[in-house]
Amino acid sequence: MSSAHRNRVVSGLNFQDLPVETLVEILQNLDISSIASVSQVSKRLKKVIETNWAIALRPAINRDMTPISPFLQVLRVCDSKVAPPAVKFNFSVSDDGVSSSDEQSASDDDDSTSGDEVDSSAEDEESDVETDVETDSDDEGPGNIDDALAIKINSPGPEDDGLTTGVLPDQWAEGLSYRTVMRVCRFIKAWELEFHRLRFACPHHRRTLEHHELFRLRHAIYVWWRYTCHFHDGACLVDGEDENVDSPIVRMEFVRQFSTSQLHELRDMWETIKSAVGREVCPSISAVRRQSGHLLSWAEAARVGWGDPVENGQVVRTIMKLRPEDILYLLVNRHRFATKASIIQFARFKNPWIEDSVETFSDSIQWALWERERQLVAEYGPRALHRRWYFPPLGFYPRPWGGIVDYKKVETEQLRDVYSRDTGAGTHWIDDHGGPRRYLARQVPSGRLVVSRGW
């Protein structure tokens, strides 16, 4: 190589040699994954990013990590050793387990119609919603339910709560570390990719989530993360904290702060992931035999399967106590766990208290939805549930519609708007068949990771 050509190469300006101000301006136009890749190019670029990360990451977070307020709450939880209280309110619990300051009432699941029982029909039965147009003489509501729905749909929406238009404040990074912020951001983006596969299992329904659907998914993951850190992780209980912090009252107060639309999105996210864990991580013995075409004996399938359907349900609900990042690791890296013992060891390492009880997130969501349904019945009579104008069925996950994903019909999608306005509704539970005492005194079942070997 000639000396002239060598001088031209040396005098050339590389990307990593640009001034810091120019590098930061370029980084502000990149997404999270690209910024992470740039930090691995050289030591100088890594130092520039770690020094100016609050400025460099801010535009990408405002674009890709919305809603901002729950995102910041998750960052505070992850950057601290102890999770802060999920909600703040005043309550006291009497000896019989019922709140004495603000009387709480719960509907009884033995004598009442649950959301799953009302919605147990298949997808094609949704078309029956429009067929129920006859006059119901037993409608005891103060007004006509159809007129009330029309008024709610045409009424102006709620004021902006900061979830849709919120942006990071100038001092958003105070008290946070670069590693924590990047870890949470990478984890959220990884869940977005994985959820596509779980949510659209059927090839002819497979597609990518729209921008507004990803918004709903991220919000659901943020809520799940906070709930797990506060109620499923025993390390979050600090010395001197109220012994009733994990009582049903506290858990219900946490989920009541979300609207009915958000509760349906939470249940969609939760049931989709739970079914994937039961299918790919901890399948039952009968599921393993079914997948093998019944070529395996019960004893052979038991080497892979996790008990009978009853035991398997308890195992899956125990595994679902893990944090979202740990559940994601199990789903993505299932091939690294050769035996059931390795999965059990991983779960116990991540959460030493995991076998104290099963998860309570699904119960809290379901009870909150039952409470909202009871309020509809109290306001408009039993016909409110028969009309199903509150929401279509959401069982049998995964499905190509509903919950986080847009509904099939425009009329149904309008209900999402209607029921995004009842945040915090249901302060008092409707007393039905002694529900308060029976629910609030109910013990959460113990967890299970090791199944019986009665086969």
pLDDT of residue 153: 54
Q: Residue 436 — pLDDT band, cuts 50, 70, 90?
A: very low
Identify whether residues 60 and 107 lie together within a single domain.
no
221 and 327, same structural domain? Answer: yes
Helices (H), 91-244: 115-118, 145-154, 178-199, 211-227
> Among residues 47, 64, 81, which one ends one of the domains?
64
Q: Is residue 76 part of a domain?
A: no
Q: Are residues 128 and 238 located together in one domain of the fold?
A: yes
The answer to the question of residue 178 being in a domain is: no
Structural domain boundaries, residue 12: 3-64
The domain tally of the chain equals 2
Average pLDDT for residues 276-303, to the nearest whole number?
Answer: 90
What are the CA-CA distances from residue 28 to residues 23, 61, 173 (Å)? Answer: 9, 10, 16
Residues 49 and 128 in one domain: no
Q: What is the pLDDT of residue 63?
A: 92
Q: Which residues pair with 107 in a beta bridge?
A: 432
pLDDT classification of 368: cutoffs 50, 70, 90:
confident
Return the exposure string of 241-269: e unless at least 16 CB atoms fall within 10 Å of the residue's CB, then b. Answer: eeeeebbbbbbbbbbbebbbbbbbbbbbb
Give the pLDDT score at 351.
93
Lowest mean pLDDT among 147-161, 199-213, 394-408: 147-161
Q: Are the C-beta atoms of residues 59 and 28 closer than 8 Å to each other?
A: yes
3-class DSSP state of 432: strand
In the predicted model, is pLDDT for residue 314 greater than 80? yes
Q: Is residue 72 part of a domain?
A: no
pLDDT of residue 3: 57
**Separation between Cα atoms, residue 387 and residue 343, nearest integer Å:** 45
Whether residues 281 and 369 fall in one domain: yes
- Is residue 42 domain-shared with residue 129, that is, in the same domain? no
